[in-house]
Amino acid sequence: MDKIERMKDGTEVTIRPLGPQDTDRLMAFYGALPEEDRKYLKFDVTDRRAVVKRLRRVDAGDDIRIVAVHGGLIVASGALELSGEGWSKHQGEIRVIVARPFQKRGLGTIVIRELYFIAVQNQIQTIVARMMRPQVGAQKIFRRLGFREESMMPDFVKDLQGSSQDLIVMTCDVKELWKQLDRTFSESDWQRCRD
């Protein structure tokens, strides 16, 4: 699936599946994230054992993970976590994180678009995004892509510093997500970068 994509400023990145050979690169990517970016993640990405445990979910077919690579370094990571069972097998949870120097350049939207294609291939109908209330930038991006807030659970989770945080759950129908992605790419300056 290796694909060359151009961000809004024309910088090229390679989007590809995360492989077992990427563990050290992934740890370097996570290690370079500012503490403020890591604070609200679901698990401690600086703990190699926790990362390796999560990567086993890829081998088991429970998660699909992709990365964006620039200059041999991982600059973004995306995951589609599949339920695969019972009443939620039509749902997938999306997770995306982008290195600070690559933020606000459209890379997160590119990664979300690739995860959309993967969701369709896996017959996912609803995509779920969970985040903590302070993750305002992420909420804004997901709203722009057609996600709507389904619930807010006060003090439901703890950030990596142990402080209680509200959990926000957002969902989007994959058909609606495609409409918003298509509109985003056709109305933006991406077309200029592709010519």
Residue ranges per structural domain of the chain: 3-190
| pLDDT, mean of residues 8-15 | 95
User: DSSP label at 83?
Assistant: -
What would the pLDDT profile of 146-166 be if each residue is shown by its tens digit?
A: 899 999 999 999 999 999 999
- Give the containing element (helix H, strand E) for 38: helix 35-38
> Measured between alpha carbons, how far is 36 from 158 in angstroms, rounded to an integer?
14
What would the pLDDT profile of 164-186 be if each residue is shown by its tens digit?
A: 999 999 999 988 877 777 777 77
The CATH code of domain 3-190 reads 3.40.630.30
Could you tell me the CA-to-CA distances from 144 to 11, 117, 121 in Å, in that order? 23, 18, 23
Structure-model confidence comparison of residues 84 and 172, the more confident one:
172
